[in-house]
Structure 1
Amino acid sequence: MLTKYQQFFTGRPTIKIAQDLLGKMVKYHGPAGTVGGYIVEVEAYLGEGDSASHAFNGRRTGYSESLYGQPGNIYLYQIRGHYCFDIVVQDEEEPQGILLRGMEPAINVAEMTKNRQMTGVNISNGPGKLVQALGIHSRKLDGQPMETSALTVDLENYRVPQEVVTTARIGVNLQGENGLSPNRFFVKGNPYVSNMRKRDMDLDHHGWKD
């Protein structure tokens, strides 16, 4: 039987789960203490029928095996030299996932700044940057349930976006059947959204409701 935590990540459309993750806090309890921030940008990947998914057409390898696990598990993989972090959603053997693309730092920002050797939005305005900012440099956490892992998402304490923007995903094959599917969601105006233009940033409220 699924726990209450796991139930958040299944039983409804992946795009709905993805939108509901905006404003939740991702945390990593690492060697340097706890770091974390609010999720501001995500992308949904819809499994074997999604041309942008690692499981497209039933592709299944040892590397992507975690994508077939329980809802709420971690799928941590490396692409173009960077580590990225998906949350597994839907029931076991249904390989759908949500990529965390952007995070607004909130816990131990100094440590994340040190991890990235960057300041400002460049700390975590992209999927590889986000994982590096947290201090994760390997696939050791791959396949673990977030509920009991050092890498987790706090579903109880969160902020509420004023508005959620929907667009096509970034960095996928645009020629693929689902290349332009509207499966990317972000907090409108938040400076830590990847590729956010300065003129579109809400520098006063970062796109959150008060």
Structure 2
Amino acid sequence: MSAKQLDYAFFENESTLQLAQDLLGKRLVKETPEGTASGWIVETEAYAGPLDRAAHSFGNRRTKRTEVMFGPPGYVYTYEMHTHCLVNVVSCKVDCPEAILIRAVEPCDGIELMYQRRGQQKKEQELTNGPGKLTKALGIDKTDYGRPFFESPLYIAHGFTPDAVSSGPRVGIDNSGEARDYPWRFYLPDHRFVSKGR
């Protein structure tokens, strides 16, 4: 199935919270020498930069890891957590370091390739129902850091418009003060590929 890439304008002129919702239903695609794998985005989390204690860029913290977030929107921010690679969309204007974590996708293309990467014994639901699972299944890794999300080989394409969107607290940020309760996790309600919430 061919996918029409979103252009740069999609990532501009939106708040991070709005973009995190607008990404739901879009298609995350990664092309590799082994083949192409993709999935419909069903869960995201917004991280609102300098004022968000859960964000890597809280307090305008600028490091080699966070540098891409200080650039223009629509670029890839990957980092490792507990040996898993996680993928984020840079989501605000230059020097406004905000990003959106892609937490879960529903497999679309390349499902057999996903099984090869994740293990043949996995249930289909477990292929991509978490941020570390989906990157492994799609072949996304740290070398994708800094790529544009509107060009091959890693890009976001048009998809569908969800009937409804739910929100709730983000996951795995218990040590972030009041930010732990911000309802900045967005997901398709009752979708089987959404990760387990708090």
Residue matched to 1:192: 193
Select which of 151, 157, 167 maps to 1:148: 151
Structure 2 residue runs of 5 or longer lacking an equivalent are 1-5
Residue matched to 1:72: 74
Residue matched to 2:12: 10
Return structure 1 stretches of 4+ with deviation > 4 angstroms: none
Give the whole-Å Cα distance in 2 for the aligned partners of 1:13 and 1:174: 25
CA distances 1:162-191 after superposition (whole Å, capped 9, x unpaired): 211110000113551311101000001110
Indicate the larger mover: 139-148 or 103-112: 139-148
Q: Does residue 129 of the first structure (1) align with residue 133 of the second (2)?
A: yes
Give the whole-Å Cα distance in 1 for the aligned partners of 2:160 and 2:26: 7
Identity of aligned residues (%): 36
Give the whole-Å Cα distance in 2 for the aligned partners of 1:8 and 1:162: 20
Say how many residue pairs are matched. Answer: 190
> Does the 8 Å contact 2:53/2:176 carry over to 1?
no
Give the whole-Å Cα distance in 1 for the aligned partners of 2:171 and 2:14: 24
State the TM-score, normalized to the length of structure 2: 0.91
Q: Quote the RMSD (CA, aligned, Å).
A: 1.4
> Does the 8 Å contact 1:69/1:143 carry over to 2?
no
1:39–1:107 Cα change, 3 Å: same
Considering Cα pairs closer than 8 Å and 6+ residues apart, tell me whether 1 or 2 has the greater RCO.
2
State the TM-score, normalized to the length of structure 1: 0.86
C-alpha displacement at 1:98, in angstroms? 0.5
Structure 1 residue runs of 5 or longer lacking an equivalent are 197-210
Give the whole-Å Cα distance in 1 for the aligned partners of 2:58 and 2:10: 24
Aligned residue identity for 2:17: I
